[in-house]
Amino acid sequence: MRTSGYTFIVNPNSKSGLGRKIWSRQVEPALKKQGIPYEVFFTKYRQHAVKISRKIGTYDTSILPYEDCCTVFTPRHPRTRPKAAEVARIEEEAALPPELFDEAIRNAELVVLSLHRSAPSV
């Protein structure tokens, strides 16, 4: 089971090593600067994150459905490299009224997240 603070599971080899770079250059320094307690686990092989999350007792929580706008409107098997012409065709077929876009822009909200010294226990 986890201790107090935040727990991170990092794939150091993701995106040709970008995972480790982001962790060591951005995330970890910010946590240390703010004095936020954390523990980090680096994955070493396929499905290792699943094994780690089960061992530390977070797996069941990590697979709970959470319906936000990203999950509600994301296709089950999204195309990760669509062709521009295909995207334009699909957008045209959707024929959404321009006022929907105007309303979305008018109601857009900027949320700024920052790390605070008194971080809640996870």
- Determine the pLDDT at residue 122: 42
- Determine the pLDDT at residue 102: 80
- Determine the pLDDT at residue 21: 92
The model carries a pTM of: 0.53
Domain ranges of the chain: 6-106
What residues in the chain have per-residue pLDDT under 50? 1, 119-122
Q: Which two tokens stand for residue 12?
A: 């150091």
